[in-house]
Structure 1
């Protein structure tokens, strides 16, 4: 009797083991999908998705890749760098960053369609890191990117960047406006004021591409990232469109942008901080400049006397050089501004004409 019970138990155990061993094979035989599976209903896209898709489909055809070439060869030269650009008008002008074209001797633009067109630089503005090219074809180009405004932007607004990161064309990234009124140094030796900070992914190759709002309007030109590794770290910067909309027509019409200044050499800001000075120290005055005619004084090294300190322009405070250049750039060349200065610890005002100091600004840092 006991032997029989043992055999039954062993049989049950054997059956269970067989089931465990054979179960995957049985499941595969009974439940394998040997035909295409039916597509599940997706439902409507979310409003945010529809907005993002519309922005990309509307603007992407107007975004191009800009390739700078050097030297001569079978293909017209060797690549010296590349970035992004976008169509500005129906005449074939393309806006990009100055640093994208700075090292090139010839240029080509690749449209979203894949067509490659030769292009020439018509103007550069290193002080703003902006440049304009013109493709050598007038008709059949995509529509220009719609222009918005940066004056009324709010932190938290949606921001879209379209570009060619690492040469991967027509890439869209989305984020928000992370901060406003940042300052960005440029190769021209100045700082661009009111720069937009965004967390939309911007990587090498995105330079010169458009930053867009949720309506698909241009609100900035992507120009730089802050990253120790050189790749996106969630902090990117864009030149505000209000600056772009002022500079680009000048580049198209004249090939350059007037640089408003008064003809001074500014003292080192580190020295000013060490001296506890809040303002711009006048280290020197350019001979024949409006600053000299107005009576501004620079540092007298022999006497050990510090120069005049500019503390305000038109009663608006000036704490550092970028404050001064920003205020002068909002004044038309030929106009006169009232400076408030400190001399011998006394405050006084001087009227100074604003002139176009041209390329000397880049070399000598004259505001």
Structure 2
């Protein structure tokens, strides 16, 4: 007959008690963790301790200047909402379909509003919202697609919004501070800051339009909806119109462009006066693609004259276009510089002429049969 070993029972008892103790401790810890928030709330005071406000002190000088600039400029910036009238082919009812939003600014006391052409392009109507909340139906005064500038007008009988002060862009320096005010993504009257990143940039034109030249590049945040808004210097003066961004994603990527105010000052008064901008011209015909082919064949740079309009300024100055012979096309005069500024292509020639006014006399350096000569030409109205 087998009997239980008393020594083995005595050896296993401490092991069992130890595991029971460990299990009990784990259970107690889990209960404490579960009810810890309630215990803390029971032990904490019934009323929360009041915190004292730390005195901030005076704002920095640059902060004060930025705040003052925004407060003084805000009323000169407007919010533009465009729509397109669509006729239902079944009911023949006309509906106003929202098209987009943009920015603009007050040009003068007569109620003229300046914005980008692409903001109102294709729209049937535009509503101007002022900073004080008033809305006005806008009338189109004139556009210059080549400069991406449009002028609208609203009828403001009282409490006219102030016009934005006008600055200059010819004396801008890379690195100076700039401020953009607009309505990005519909977020009205947004202020962003940055610097002038580069000058004299060019962007290719859209829809067959000529390239936009002399643009200001800035890293001030510019997004869709900022188009048409003012770019200001640290004195609150207009130095450009925010017009485009460079971004693979379509949002701010640190590179924005603005039409310089010197261009705006040349274009807007004409739009207000006549409804269109008359570009200075020589009275010649040129073609970008054909010019590149001719340059590839002959080498060098410049712009070949394809045709001279009879009775034009270029005709009076003696310029000659290309000729068609039995041997083929004989290239005409090649313009290599304007007022001692080298001309590399058609876009640069048009940009140099656009800096002038109708009636100005420019001196062209023209090459014919390997010989250079200087030809003064009085600029005429373009088409």
The Cα shift of 1:14 comes to: 8.1
Give the direction of change, closer, same or farther, for the CA distance of 1:332–1:322 in structure 2 (3 Å limit).
same
Distance in 1 (CA, whole Å) between partners of 2:84 and 2:65 is: 40
Within 5 Å, give how 1:85-104 maps onto structure 2: 85-104=104-123
Contact kept, 8 Å, 1:126 with 1:186, in 2: the verdict is no
Give the direction of change, closer, same or farther, for the CA distance of 1:318–1:40 in structure 2 (3 Å limit).
same
Distance in 1 (CA, whole Å) between partners of 2:157 and 2:50 is: 49
The Cα shift of 1:75 comes to: 9.8
The Cα shift of 1:191 comes to: 3.1
**Partner of residue 191, structure 1:** 211
Distance in 1 (CA, whole Å) between partners of 2:61 and 2:28 is: 54
**Partner of residue 361, structure 1:** none
SS in 1 for 2:138: strand
Distance in 2 (CA, whole Å) between partners of 1:15 and 1:100 is: 69
Give the direction of change, closer, same or farther, for the CA distance of 1:27–1:41 in structure 2 (3 Å limit).
farther
RMSD between superposed Cα atoms in Å: 3.0
Structure 1: which 5+ runs fail to align? 359-367
Counterpart among 306, 310, 318 of residue 287 in structure 1 = 310
Task: After superposing the two structures, state which structure 1 stretch, 104-113 or 186-195, moved more.
Answer: 186-195
**Partner of residue 325, structure 1:** 350
The Cα shift of 1:21 comes to: 6.4
The Cα shift of 1:354 comes to: 0.8
Distance in 2 (CA, whole Å) between partners of 1:33 and 1:322 is: 74
Distance in 2 (CA, whole Å) between partners of 1:62 and 1:76 is: 31
Structure 2: which 5+ runs fail to align? 1-13, 88-92
Contact kept, 8 Å, 2:85 with 2:94, in 1: the verdict is no
**Partner of residue 120, structure 1:** 139
**Partner of residue 45, structure 1:** 59
**Partner of residue 313, structure 1:** 338
Distance in 1 (CA, whole Å) between partners of 2:193 and 2:303 is: 39
SS in 2 for 1:122: strand
Distance in 2 (CA, whole Å) between partners of 1:348 and 1:202 is: 46
Matched, 1:264 2:278: no
Give the direction of change, closer, same or farther, for the CA distance of 1:85–1:341 in structure 2 (3 Å limit).
same
Distance in 2 (CA, whole Å) between partners of 1:180 and 1:264 is: 29
1:183-228 Cα shifts (integer Å, max 9, x gaps) = 2344573333321001111111111000111222111100011112
Within 5 Å, give how 1:116-155 maps onto structure 2: 116-155=135-174
Distance in 1 (CA, whole Å) between partners of 2:50 and 2:160 is: 42
The Cα shift of 1:110 comes to: 1.1
Contact kept, 8 Å, 1:90 with 1:138, in 2: the verdict is no
The Cα shift of 1:24 comes to: 4.6
Distance in 1 (CA, whole Å) between partners of 2:261 and 2:378 is: 28
1:328-353 Cα shifts (integer Å, max 9, x gaps) = 23333123322111111111222322
After TM superposition, the score normalised by the length of structure 1 is 0.86
SS in 2 for 1:90: coil
Distance in 1 (CA, whole Å) between partners of 2:150 and 2:95 is: 21
Counterpart among 318, 324, 342 of residue 367 in structure 2 = 342
Task: After superposing the two structures, state which structure 1 stretch, 63-72 or 152-161, moved more.
Answer: 63-72
Contact kept, 8 Å, 2:81 with 2:128, in 1: the verdict is yes
Matched, 1:236 2:249: no
Distance in 2 (CA, whole Å) between partners of 1:246 and 1:109 is: 24
Aligned length: 355
Distance in 1 (CA, whole Å) between partners of 2:45 and 2:199 is: 57
Distance in 2 (CA, whole Å) between partners of 1:306 and 1:353 is: 23
SS in 2 for 1:312: strand
**Partner of residue 277, structure 1:** 300
The Cα shift of 1:284 comes to: 2.4
The Cα shift of 1:106 comes to: 2.4
The Cα shift of 1:58 comes to: 1.4
Task: After superposing the two structures, state which structure 1 stretch, 290-299 or 255-264, moved more.
Answer: 290-299
Counterpart among 142, 158, 161 of residue 180 in structure 2 = 161
Give the direction of change, closer, same or farther, for the CA distance of 1:158–1:289 in structure 2 (3 Å limit).
same
Task: After superposing the two structures, state which structure 1 stretch, 53-62 or 91-100, moved more.
Answer: 53-62
Task: After superposing the two structures, state which structure 1 stretch, 218-227 or 337-346, moved more.
Answer: 337-346
SS in 2 for 1:77: strand
After TM superposition, the score normalised by the length of structure 2 is 0.82
Give the direction of change, closer, same or farther, for the CA distance of 1:325–1:31 in structure 2 (3 Å limit).
farther
